[in-house]
């Protein structure tokens, strides 16, 4: 059995990514779109497209009845949810199943088991997987919080049971702060999730965020595909991801992989999933954090180092096939780095920069991959996540990958909107990044180093003029680089300096 037509219940780059996999398999594709997305790339790429309502996602991409109506009208036999929107909505999975349409993803029971943080912690503990020391029930009182915190010592972390994305999360460094922190966490949790239950954990100081990709089929096979290092985040949004993690040894990978598979087995998982861990930089002990029951944004880095097309595999698994690989045949090779390109201005505190893309030139050559959802002339909408593309490189080792990313980022040209590209050009030259010293405090540290070492206005002007003069008469490919409109003074000097080898 193979699907003839798949509806993609999403937009942007991930909708395009899924359409590509379907096309390779000869499966027809159905796009859905809101008023804001009439001219979007995913609509242009799909075989057919159905309008599902106004621009706000609450009135379009989040409306299960509209998506299901489009699926029925088009005769789709399966739905791929992408990530976000309805991808982790168990009710939607049940509605699709009742309508006789296959949901490409895990069973709703597995989603629900992992949906609540406390429930997920309990399952991990029962499966023999290490979790951060803490409570496995919501806190009943301040007294309970005080006693638990005292039993494993400060700092501690208060988290919303219904939580996610750092909302309702509070770091408490001493007992004096506990009472007010508990109140804030509760009211934030109530406001965000309509549920004020909060639990407590020992805080891991400046942890690494490392996650394991797992894959399961309907025949009881569960395999892990190694880790991704996702420590470089801003406001709980990942910004740069890589595979493998610069700190991971084969030994640690095997241990973490085994634990991830235990969690997957415990919930009878099916399809692609990710088990997140916090890893202590002190002794490399690791702790289960949560499981994401969907394909993740950063899946390309795993694809690059395993050679496995995760979306193709998702479709096969949903159609009932056995996994095309076993734990023994999965081999990790080389190193991949991904930068999430956002329509945001790094010079203005990463303020969204929605507008028309007037120029787009993508990097080419060895080892590059761009998963984009835009084109030259497209409008970036204010209504959705401002991520316009994911740019990834592959190298035989981390050094080659970094050098390739530096080179490719100089080729990447976007005009009309501000992007995070100039920021990435600088990070790729940051000493701590190059050494692989990554933790969840990386961006703050980077921004501090940047302020400290920022050249003055005169020095910048001199560097820009010198670089421009130097390349004006040269035939070097770098000429094109200096001709680009600088997106920031720093970015321009960064490019000039990188091209001149000042930072080498």
Q: Which residues bind ligand MV4 (CB under 6 A)?
A: 132, 157, 166, 169, 201-204, 207, 209, 233, 236, 278, 289, 440
Q: How far apart are CA 256 and CA 220, in angstroms?
A: 20
For the bound state, the minimum distance from the C-beta of residue 289 to ligand MV4, rounded and expressed in Å, comes to: 6
Helix (H) or strand (E) holding 270: none
Q: How far apart are CA 299 and CA 308, in angstroms?
A: 10
Q: Which is nearer to ligand MV4, 236 or 361 (CB)?
A: 236
For the bound state, the minimum distance from the C-beta of residue 174 to ligand MV4, rounded and expressed in Å, comes to: 16
DSSP state letters, 163-214 = -BTTBT-EEE-SGGGHHHHHHHHHHHHHHHHS---EEEEEPPSS-EEEEEEE
Contact 222, 264 (CB under 8 A): yes
Report the first-to-last Cα separation within the chain, whole angstroms. Answer: 55
| Contacts of 381 by beta carbon, 8 Å cutoff, 6+ apart | 36, 37, 55, 354
For the bound state, the minimum distance from the C-beta of residue 72 to ligand MV4, rounded and expressed in Å, comes to: 36
3-state secondary structure of 87: coil
For the bound state, the minimum distance from the C-beta of residue 439 to ligand MV4, rounded and expressed in Å, comes to: 9
Q: How far apart are CA 39 and CA 72, in angstroms?
A: 23
Tell me the two tokens of residue 465.
């003029």
For the bound state, the minimum distance from the C-beta of residue 114 to ligand MV4, rounded and expressed in Å, comes to: 13
For the bound state, the minimum distance from the C-beta of residue 278 to ligand MV4, rounded and expressed in Å, comes to: 6
For the bound state, the minimum distance from the C-beta of residue 131 to ligand MV4, rounded and expressed in Å, comes to: 9
Q: Which is nearer to ligand MV4, 157 or 410 (CB)?
A: 157
Place of tokens 């803490």: 134
Residues across the chain: 504
Q: Which is nearer to ligand MV4, 221 or 233 (CB)?
A: 233
Tell me the two tokens of residue 270.
């099916």
Radius of gyration of the chain (CA): 23
Q: Which is nearer to ligand MV4, 133 or 486 (CB)?
A: 133
Q: How far apart are CA 357 and CA 343, in angstroms?
A: 10
Q: Which is nearer to ligand MV4, 207 or 422 (CB)?
A: 207
Beta-strand pair 413-415/359-361: antiparallel
Q: Which is nearer to ligand MV4, 286 or 471 (CB)?
A: 286
Tell me the two tokens of residue 296.
């993740």
Q: How far apart are CA 359 and CA 375, in angstroms?
A: 9
Q: How far apart are CA 75 and CA 354, in angstroms?
A: 35
Q: Which is nearer to ligand MV4, 130 or 334 (CB)?
A: 130
Q: How far apart are CA 301 and CA 401, in angstroms?
A: 11
C-alpha to C-alpha distances, 259 to 106, 110, 253, nearest whole angstrom = 19, 17, 10
Q: Which is nearer to ligand MV4, 111 or 131 (CB)?
A: 131
Helix (H) or strand (E) holding 32: strand 28-34
- C-alpha torsion angle, residues 263, 269, 272, 274 (rounded to 10): -20
The closest alpha carbon to 278, from 93, 401, 439, belongs to 439
Say which of 294, 404, 425, 495 is annotated catalytic.
294
Would residue 294 show up in a list of annotated catalytic residues for this protein?
Answer: yes
Q: Which residues are catalytic?
A: 294
């Amino acid at each position: 059995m193979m699907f003839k037509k798949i509806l993609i219940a999403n937009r942007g780059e991930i909708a395009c990514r899924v359409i590509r996999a379907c096309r390779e398999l000869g499966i027809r594709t159905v796009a859905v779109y809101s008023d804001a997305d009439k001219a979007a790339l995913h609509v242009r790429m799909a075989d057919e497209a159905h309008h599902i309502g106004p621009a706000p996602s609450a009135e379009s991409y989040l409306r299960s009845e509209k998506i299901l109506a489009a699926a029925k009208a088009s005769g789709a036999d399966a739905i791929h949810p992408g990530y976000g929107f309805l991808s982790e909505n168990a009710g939607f999975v049940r509605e699709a199943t009742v309508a006789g349409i296959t949901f490409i993803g895990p069973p709703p029971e597995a989603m629900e088991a992992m949906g609540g943080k406390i429930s997920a912690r309990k399952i991990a503990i029962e499966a023999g997987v290490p979790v951060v020391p803490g409570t496995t029930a919501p806190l009943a009182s301040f007294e309970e919080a005080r006693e638990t915190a005292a039993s494993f010592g400060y700092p501690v972390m208060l988290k919303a049971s219904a939580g996610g994305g750092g909302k309702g999360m509070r770091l408490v460094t001493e007992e004096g702060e506990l009472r007010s922190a508990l109140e804030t966490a509760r009211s934030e949790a109530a406001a965000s999730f309509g549920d004020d239950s909060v639990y407590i954990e020992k805080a891991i100081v400046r942890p690494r965020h490392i996650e394991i990709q797992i894959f399961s089929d309907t025949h009881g096979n569960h395999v892990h595909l190694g880790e991704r290092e996702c420590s470089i985040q801003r406001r709980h949004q990942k910004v740069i991801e890589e595979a493998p993690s610069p700190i991971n040894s084969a030994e640690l990978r095997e241990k973490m992989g085994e634990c991830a598979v235990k969690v997957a087995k415990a919930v009878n998982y099916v399809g692609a999933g990710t088990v997140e861990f916090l890893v202590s930089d002190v002794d490399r002990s690791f702790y289960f954090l949560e499981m994401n029951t969907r394909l993740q944004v950063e899946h390309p880095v795993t694809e690059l180092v395993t050679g496995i097309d995760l979306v193709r595999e998702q479709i096969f698994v949903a159609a009932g096939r056995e996994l095309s690989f076993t734990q023994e045949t999965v081999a990790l090779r080389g190193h991949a780095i991904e930068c999430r390109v956002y329509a945001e201005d790094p010079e203005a505190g990463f303020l969204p920069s929605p507008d028309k893309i007037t120029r787009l030139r993508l990097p080419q050559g060895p080892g590059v991959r761009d998963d984009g959802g835009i084109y030259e002339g497209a409008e970036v909408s204010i209504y959705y996540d401002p991520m316009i593309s994911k740019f990834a490189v592959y190298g035989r080792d981390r050094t080659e990958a970094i050098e390739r990313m530096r080179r490719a980022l100089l080729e990447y040209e976007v005009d009309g909107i501000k992007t995070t590209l100039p920021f990435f050009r600088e990070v790729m030259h940051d000493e701590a990044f190059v050494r692989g010293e990554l933790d969840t405090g990386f961006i703050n540290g980077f921004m501090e180093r940047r302020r400290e070492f920022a050249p003055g206005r005169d020095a910048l002007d001199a560097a820009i003029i010198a670089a421009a003069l130097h390349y004006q008469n040269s035939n070097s490919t770098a000429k094109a680089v200096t001709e680009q409109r600088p997106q920031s003074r720093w970015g321009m000097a960064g490019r000039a300096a990188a091209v001149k080898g000042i930072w080498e």
